[in-house]
Copies of this chain bind each other. A is one copy, B any other.
Protein backbone atom coordinates (compact mmCIF):
# COMPACT_ATOMS: atom_id res chain seq x y z
CA UNK A 1 0.00 0.00 0.00
CA UNK A 2 1.22 3.53 -0.65
CA UNK A 3 -0.04 7.08 -0.21
CA UNK A 4 1.28 10.44 -1.33
CA UNK A 5 2.83 12.70 1.30
CA UNK A 6 0.31 15.39 0.34
CA UNK A 7 -2.56 13.06 1.18
CA UNK A 8 -0.95 12.17 4.53
CA UNK A 9 -0.29 15.82 5.44
CA UNK A 10 -3.88 16.70 4.63
CA UNK A 11 -5.19 13.86 6.78
CA UNK A 12 -3.06 15.11 9.70
CA UNK A 13 -3.72 18.81 9.16
CA UNK A 14 0.04 19.24 8.93
CA UNK A 15 2.25 21.54 6.89
CA UNK A 16 4.81 20.12 4.42
CA UNK A 17 8.20 21.87 4.28
CA UNK A 18 10.29 20.67 1.35
CA UNK A 19 9.45 18.42 -1.57
CA UNK A 20 5.87 17.10 -1.11
CA UNK A 21 5.70 15.17 -4.37
CA UNK A 22 6.73 11.85 -2.94
CA UNK A 23 5.02 8.60 -2.15
CA UNK A 24 5.20 6.89 1.29
CA UNK A 25 5.44 3.11 1.27
CA UNK A 26 6.56 2.21 4.77
CA UNK A 27 7.25 3.31 8.34
CA UNK A 28 10.08 2.97 10.76
CA UNK A 29 11.81 4.57 13.73
CA UNK A 30 14.12 7.44 12.83
CA UNK A 31 17.27 5.29 12.99
CA UNK A 32 15.90 2.25 11.12
CA UNK A 33 14.01 4.13 8.38
CA UNK A 34 14.90 3.56 4.72
CA UNK A 35 14.10 5.50 1.56
CA UNK A 36 10.34 5.57 0.99
CA UNK A 37 9.61 5.48 4.76
CA UNK A 38 7.89 8.05 6.89
CA UNK A 39 9.30 8.57 10.39
CA UNK A 40 8.89 11.06 13.24
CA UNK A 41 10.96 13.09 15.68
CA UNK A 42 9.28 12.74 19.07
CA UNK A 43 11.84 14.60 21.12
CA UNK A 44 13.61 17.77 19.87
CA UNK A 45 16.80 16.76 21.70
CA UNK A 46 17.34 14.11 19.01
CA UNK A 47 17.22 16.73 16.24
CA UNK A 48 20.73 15.70 15.11
CA UNK A 49 19.26 12.38 13.93
CA UNK A 50 17.47 14.35 11.20
CA UNK A 51 20.78 14.64 9.40
CA UNK A 52 21.42 10.91 9.49
CA UNK A 53 18.02 9.35 8.85
CA UNK A 54 17.37 7.64 5.50
CA UNK A 55 13.63 8.36 5.82
CA UNK A 56 12.01 10.22 2.92
CA UNK A 57 9.93 12.40 5.24
CA UNK A 58 9.81 13.18 8.95
CA UNK A 59 6.93 14.32 11.15
CA UNK A 60 8.20 17.08 13.47
CA UNK A 61 6.59 19.28 16.09
CA UNK A 62 5.26 22.60 14.79
CA UNK A 63 6.34 24.12 18.13
CA UNK A 64 10.02 23.73 17.26
CA UNK A 65 11.86 25.85 14.71
CA UNK A 66 13.64 23.00 12.98
CA UNK A 67 16.05 23.71 10.10
CA UNK A 68 16.81 20.81 7.77
CA UNK A 69 17.09 20.02 4.09
CA UNK A 70 14.99 16.91 4.60
CA UNK A 71 11.31 16.92 3.80
CA UNK A 72 9.37 17.46 7.02
CA UNK A 73 5.72 17.71 7.98
CA UNK A 74 4.95 20.04 10.88
CA UNK A 75 2.21 18.67 13.17
CA UNK A 76 1.03 19.29 16.73
CA UNK A 77 2.17 15.99 18.22
CA UNK A 78 4.52 13.97 16.00
CA UNK A 79 4.22 10.68 17.87
CA UNK A 80 0.42 10.80 17.96
CA UNK A 81 0.31 11.90 14.31
CA UNK A 82 2.60 9.03 13.34
CA UNK A 83 0.28 6.60 15.07
CA UNK A 84 -2.72 8.07 13.28
CA UNK A 85 -1.15 7.86 9.86
CA UNK A 86 -0.27 4.21 10.54
CA UNK A 87 -3.96 3.49 10.92
CA UNK A 88 -4.48 4.75 7.33
CA UNK A 89 -2.26 1.89 6.21
CA UNK A 90 -4.00 -0.94 8.08
CA UNK A 91 -4.95 -3.41 5.39
CA UNK A 92 -8.53 -4.52 5.46
CA UNK A 93 -9.20 -8.07 4.42
CA UNK A 94 -9.89 -8.11 0.68
CA UNK A 95 -12.79 -10.42 1.48
CA UNK A 96 -14.13 -10.38 5.02
CA UNK A 97 -17.19 -12.10 6.29
CA UNK A 98 -19.36 -9.00 6.54
CA UNK A 99 -22.70 -9.65 8.11
CA UNK A 100 -23.61 -12.85 9.85
CA UNK A 101 -21.78 -15.92 8.60
CA UNK A 102 -24.21 -18.79 7.93
CA UNK A 103 -22.20 -21.21 10.09
CA UNK A 104 -22.52 -19.01 13.19
CA UNK A 105 -24.98 -20.44 15.74
CA UNK A 106 -27.05 -17.56 17.09
CA UNK A 107 -29.96 -17.96 19.48
CA UNK A 108 -33.23 -16.52 18.26
CA UNK A 109 -33.44 -14.89 21.65
CA UNK A 110 -30.24 -12.86 21.06
CA UNK A 111 -30.49 -9.24 19.93
CA UNK A 112 -27.93 -8.40 17.23
CA UNK A 113 -27.91 -4.73 16.11
CA UNK A 114 -27.33 -3.46 12.58
CA UNK A 115 -23.91 -3.60 11.00
CA UNK A 116 -22.72 -6.34 13.28
CA UNK A 117 -20.30 -8.89 11.84
CA UNK A 118 -20.35 -12.44 13.22
CA UNK A 119 -17.62 -14.76 11.92
CA UNK A 120 -17.86 -18.44 11.02
CA UNK A 121 -18.58 -20.92 13.81
CA UNK A 122 -19.18 -18.21 16.41
CA UNK A 123 -21.77 -19.17 19.05
CA UNK A 124 -24.10 -16.61 20.60
CA UNK A 125 -26.51 -17.78 23.28
CA UNK A 126 -29.91 -16.48 24.25
CA UNK A 127 -30.35 -13.08 25.84
CA UNK A 128 -27.10 -11.76 24.37
CA UNK A 129 -27.18 -8.16 23.05
CA UNK A 130 -24.58 -6.86 20.61
CA UNK A 131 -24.42 -3.15 19.78
CA UNK A 132 -24.12 -1.55 16.37
CA UNK A 133 -20.88 -1.85 14.46
CA UNK A 134 -19.38 -4.56 16.66
CA UNK A 135 -17.44 -7.42 15.12
CA UNK A 136 -17.45 -10.93 16.60
CA UNK A 137 -14.63 -13.13 15.26
CA UNK A 138 -14.68 -16.73 14.11
CA UNK A 139 -15.10 -19.32 16.84
CA UNK A 140 -16.01 -16.77 19.53
CA UNK A 141 -18.38 -18.00 22.26
CA UNK A 142 -20.72 -15.54 24.00
CA UNK A 143 -22.74 -16.97 26.90
CA UNK A 144 -26.37 -16.17 27.68
CA UNK A 145 -27.32 -12.72 28.84
CA UNK A 146 -23.98 -11.06 28.08
CA UNK A 147 -24.25 -7.51 26.70
CA UNK A 148 -21.65 -6.11 24.31
CA UNK A 149 -21.69 -2.43 23.34
CA UNK A 150 -21.12 -0.65 20.03
CA UNK A 151 -18.06 -0.86 17.79
CA UNK A 152 -16.40 -3.58 19.80
CA UNK A 153 -13.80 -5.82 18.21
CA UNK A 154 -13.81 -9.39 19.57
CA UNK A 155 -11.04 -11.38 17.85
CA UNK A 156 -11.34 -15.06 16.88
CA UNK A 157 -11.52 -17.78 19.53
CA UNK A 158 -12.34 -15.47 22.46
CA UNK A 159 -14.63 -16.93 25.14
CA UNK A 160 -17.03 -14.62 26.99
CA UNK A 161 -19.15 -16.44 29.53
CA UNK A 162 -22.69 -15.64 30.63
CA UNK A 163 -24.18 -12.40 32.02
CA UNK A 164 -21.15 -10.13 31.59
CA UNK A 165 -21.35 -6.46 30.61
CA UNK A 166 -18.98 -5.02 28.04
CA UNK A 167 -19.01 -1.35 27.02
CA UNK A 168 -18.40 0.40 23.70
CA UNK A 169 -15.22 0.29 21.58
CA UNK A 170 -13.81 -2.56 23.68
CA UNK A 171 -11.13 -4.69 21.95
CA UNK A 172 -10.52 -8.26 23.13
CA UNK A 173 -7.75 -10.32 21.52
CA UNK A 174 -7.78 -14.00 20.64
CA UNK A 175 -7.69 -16.75 23.22
CA UNK A 176 -8.85 -14.51 26.06
CA UNK A 177 -11.46 -15.75 28.54
CA UNK A 178 -13.85 -13.32 30.24
CA UNK A 179 -16.03 -14.49 33.12
CA UNK A 180 -14.44 -17.82 34.08
CA UNK A 181 -15.20 -18.84 37.67
CA UNK A 182 -13.23 -17.15 40.45
CA UNK A 183 -10.87 -19.45 42.37
CA UNK A 184 -12.61 -19.98 45.71
CA UNK A 185 -13.15 -22.97 47.96
CA UNK A 186 -14.26 -23.70 51.50
CA UNK A 187 -12.07 -26.44 52.96
CA UNK A 188 -14.11 -28.84 55.05
CA UNK A 189 -12.37 -31.91 56.54
CA UNK A 190 -9.58 -31.69 53.97
CA UNK A 191 -11.94 -31.43 51.00
CA UNK A 192 -12.03 -28.19 48.98
CA UNK A 193 -15.72 -27.44 48.33
CA UNK A 194 -16.29 -25.06 45.44
CA UNK A 195 -17.79 -21.67 46.27
CA UNK A 196 -20.28 -20.81 43.51
CA UNK A 197 -19.16 -17.78 41.56
CA UNK A 198 -22.44 -16.05 40.80
CA UNK A 199 -21.11 -12.54 40.09
CA UNK A 200 -20.17 -11.08 36.71
CA UNK A 201 -17.47 -9.15 34.88
CA UNK A 202 -18.09 -5.54 33.86
CA UNK A 203 -15.74 -3.92 31.35
CA UNK A 204 -16.17 -0.23 30.60
CA UNK A 205 -15.76 1.69 27.33
CA UNK A 206 -12.44 1.86 25.45
CA UNK A 207 -10.78 -0.98 27.32
CA UNK A 208 -8.36 -3.17 25.33
CA UNK A 209 -7.47 -6.68 26.53
CA UNK A 210 -4.61 -8.70 24.99
CA UNK A 211 -4.37 -12.35 23.95
CA UNK A 212 -4.79 -15.34 26.30
CA UNK A 213 -5.81 -13.17 29.26
CA UNK A 214 -8.10 -14.57 32.00
CA UNK A 215 -10.62 -12.31 33.76
CA UNK A 216 -12.58 -14.20 36.41
CA UNK A 217 -16.16 -13.40 37.31
CA UNK A 218 -16.91 -12.27 40.85
CA UNK A 219 -17.97 -14.57 43.65
CA UNK A 220 -20.91 -12.19 43.93
CA UNK A 221 -21.15 -8.57 42.76
CA UNK A 222 -18.62 -7.94 39.95
CA UNK A 223 -15.07 -7.92 38.71
CA UNK A 224 -14.64 -4.46 37.20
CA UNK A 225 -12.30 -2.88 34.61
CA UNK A 226 -12.60 0.90 34.28
CA UNK A 227 -12.81 3.03 31.16
CA UNK A 228 -9.71 3.33 28.98
CA UNK A 229 -7.64 0.74 30.83
CA UNK A 230 -5.29 -1.30 28.61
CA UNK A 231 -4.30 -4.87 29.48
CA UNK A 232 -1.50 -6.80 27.74
CA UNK A 233 -1.30 -10.56 26.98
CA UNK A 234 -1.44 -13.46 29.48
CA UNK A 235 -2.61 -11.32 32.41
CA UNK A 236 -4.59 -12.82 35.31
CA UNK A 237 -7.42 -10.74 36.82
CA UNK A 238 -8.95 -12.65 39.75
CA UNK A 239 -12.51 -12.50 41.05
CA UNK A 240 -13.82 -9.25 42.50
CA UNK A 241 -10.78 -7.24 41.39
CA UNK A 242 -11.61 -3.59 40.66
CA UNK A 243 -9.37 -1.75 38.19
CA UNK A 244 -9.80 2.00 37.73
CA UNK A 245 -9.64 4.19 34.63
CA UNK A 246 -6.75 4.41 32.17
CA UNK A 247 -4.48 1.90 33.87
CA UNK A 248 -1.70 0.11 31.98
CA UNK A 249 -1.31 -3.56 32.93
CA UNK A 250 1.68 -5.11 31.16
CA UNK A 251 1.99 -8.76 30.12
CA UNK A 252 1.88 -11.66 32.60
CA UNK A 253 0.77 -9.53 35.55
CA UNK A 254 -1.33 -11.34 38.16
CA UNK A 255 -3.83 -9.47 40.36
CA UNK A 256 -5.27 -11.50 43.24
CA UNK A 257 -8.86 -11.56 44.40
CA UNK A 258 -10.71 -8.49 45.73
CA UNK A 259 -7.81 -6.10 45.16
CA UNK A 260 -8.54 -2.54 43.99
CA UNK A 261 -6.23 -0.87 41.47
CA UNK A 262 -7.09 2.83 41.35
CA UNK A 263 -6.96 5.10 38.26
CA UNK A 264 -3.79 5.59 36.19
CA UNK A 265 -1.83 2.80 37.82
CA UNK A 266 0.96 1.24 35.70
CA UNK A 267 1.95 -2.36 36.51
CA UNK A 268 5.12 -3.61 34.74
CA UNK A 269 5.43 -7.08 33.24
CA UNK A 270 5.14 -10.12 35.53
CA UNK A 271 4.15 -8.02 38.55
CA UNK A 272 2.13 -9.87 41.18
CA UNK A 273 -0.34 -8.12 43.49
CA UNK A 274 -1.67 -9.92 46.59
CA UNK A 275 -5.37 -10.06 47.43
CA UNK A 276 -7.60 -7.54 49.27
CA UNK A 277 -5.22 -4.58 48.72
CA UNK A 278 -5.66 -1.05 47.44
CA UNK A 279 -3.03 0.28 45.04
CA UNK A 280 -3.34 4.06 45.12
CA UNK A 281 -3.99 6.10 41.97
CA UNK A 282 -1.03 6.91 39.75
CA UNK A 283 1.20 4.26 41.32
CA UNK A 284 3.93 2.84 39.06
CA UNK A 285 5.34 -0.61 39.72
CA UNK A 286 8.55 -1.92 38.06
CA UNK A 287 8.47 -5.22 36.20
CA UNK A 288 8.64 -8.43 38.26
CA UNK A 289 7.77 -6.69 41.53
CA UNK A 290 5.58 -8.40 44.12
CA UNK A 291 3.19 -6.22 46.15
CA UNK A 292 2.25 -7.69 49.52
CA UNK A 293 0.37 -4.72 51.04
CA UNK A 294 -1.63 -1.63 50.09
CA UNK A 295 0.24 1.45 48.87
CA UNK A 296 -0.72 5.13 48.80
CA UNK A 297 -1.34 7.08 45.57
CA UNK A 298 1.60 7.94 43.33
CA UNK A 299 3.89 5.32 44.89
CA UNK A 300 6.86 4.22 42.78
CA UNK A 301 7.68 0.63 43.64
CA UNK A 302 10.37 -1.86 42.83
CA UNK A 303 11.35 -5.37 43.93
CA UNK A 304 9.75 -8.32 45.64
CA UNK A 305 8.52 -7.60 48.21
CA UNK A 306 8.12 -4.17 46.59
CA UNK A 307 9.84 -1.18 48.18
CA UNK A 308 9.68 2.52 47.40
CA UNK A 309 11.90 3.04 44.36
CA UNK A 310 14.75 4.97 46.03
CA UNK A 311 14.97 2.60 48.97
CA UNK A 312 14.95 -0.40 46.64
CA UNK A 313 17.78 1.16 44.65
CA UNK A 314 19.83 1.73 47.79
CA UNK A 315 19.13 -1.84 48.92
CA UNK A 316 20.07 -3.21 45.55
CA UNK A 317 23.33 -1.24 45.49
CA UNK A 318 24.15 -2.33 49.06
CA UNK A 319 23.38 -5.93 48.21
CA UNK A 320 25.82 -5.97 45.32
CA UNK A 321 28.58 -4.76 47.67
CA UNK A 322 27.57 -7.10 50.48
CA UNK A 323 30.26 -9.78 49.88
CA UNK A 324 32.99 -7.14 50.06
CA UNK A 325 31.51 -5.59 53.23
CA UNK A 326 31.44 -8.99 54.86
CA UNK A 327 35.15 -9.08 54.15
CA UNK A 328 35.51 -5.68 55.87
CA UNK A 329 33.55 -6.90 58.89
CA UNK A 330 35.86 -9.86 59.32
CA UNK A 331 38.92 -7.64 59.15
CA UNK A 332 37.39 -5.29 61.72
CA UNK A 333 36.70 -8.21 64.04
CA UNK A 334 40.37 -9.17 63.97
CA UNK A 335 41.62 -5.61 64.44
CA UNK A 336 39.30 -4.99 67.37
CA UNK A 337 40.41 -8.22 68.97
CA UNK A 338 44.02 -7.14 68.57
CA UNK A 339 43.31 -3.70 70.00
CA UNK A 340 41.58 -5.31 72.95
CA UNK A 341 44.60 -7.52 73.53
CA UNK A 342 46.99 -4.59 73.29
CA UNK A 343 45.02 -2.49 75.73
CA UNK A 344 44.54 -5.37 78.13
CA UNK A 345 48.25 -6.15 77.85
CA UNK A 346 49.23 -2.76 79.15
Whether the Cβ atoms of B83 and A186 lie closer than 8 Å is yes
Q: Given A175-B214, A194-B208, A329-B332: A185 and B323 within 8 A (CB)?
A: no
Q: In the complex, what residues of B have CB within 8 A of residue A80's CB?
A: 186, 188, 193
In this complex, what residue of B is CB-closest to A101?
B105
**Which of chain A's residues 288-328 have a Cβ closer than 8 Å to chain B?**
288, 290, 304-305, 307, 311, 314-323, 325-326, 328
Q: In the complex, what residues of B have CB within 8 A of residue A159's CB?
A: 139, 155-157, 174-175, 211
Q: List 27 A-B contacts (CB under 8 A).
A: A77-B186, A80-B186, A80-B193, A83-B186, A83-B196, A86-B198, A93-B144, A93-B145, A96-B125, A123-B138, A139-B141, A157-B177, A173-B177, A174-B177, A183-B210, A190-B264, A191-B228, A192-B228, A214-B251, A250-B256, A256-B287, A270-B272, A305-B316, A314-B323, A319-B319, A319-B322, A336-B336
CA distance A304 to B221 in the complex (A): 36
Whether the Cβ atoms of B315 and A287 lie closer than 8 Å is no
From B181, B288, B290, B339, A339 is in contact (CB under 8 Å) with B339
**Known contacts A80-B188, A177-B212, A335-B340, then 4 further A-B pairs from the complex at CB < 8 Å, ordered by chain A residue:** A175-B177, A190-B246, A332-B332, A332-B333
Interface size in chain A (residues, C-beta < 8 A): 121
CA distance A213 to B211 in the complex (A): 9
Whether the Cβ atoms of B162 and A94 lie closer than 8 Å is no
Q: In the complex, what residues of B have CB within 8 A of residue A12's CB?
A: none
In this complex, what residue of B is CB-closest to A270?
B272
Whether the Cβ atoms of B329 and A318 lie closer than 8 Å is no
CA distance A190 to B230 in the complex (A): 13
A224-243 Cβ-contact flags toward B at 8 Å (1 or 0): 00001010111010100000
Q: Given A288-B304, A304-B288: A318 and B328 within 8 A (CB)?
A: no
Whether the Cβ atoms of B183 and A230 lie closer than 8 Å is yes
Q: In the complex, what residues of B have CB within 8 A of residue A269's CB?
A: 236, 254, 256, 272
Interface of A is mostly: loop
Whether the Cβ atoms of B96 and A144 lie closer than 8 Å is yes
4 closest A-B pairs by beta carbon, nearest first, are A214-B233, A159-B174, A141-B156, A180-B211
Whether the Cβ atoms of B121 and A109 lie closer than 8 Å is no
Whether the Cβ atoms of A93 and B230 lie closer than 8 Å is no
- Tell whether A195 is near chain B: CB-to-CB under 8 Å: yes
- Tell whether A252 is near chain B: CB-to-CB under 8 Å: yes
In this complex, what residue of B is CB-closest to A230?
B192
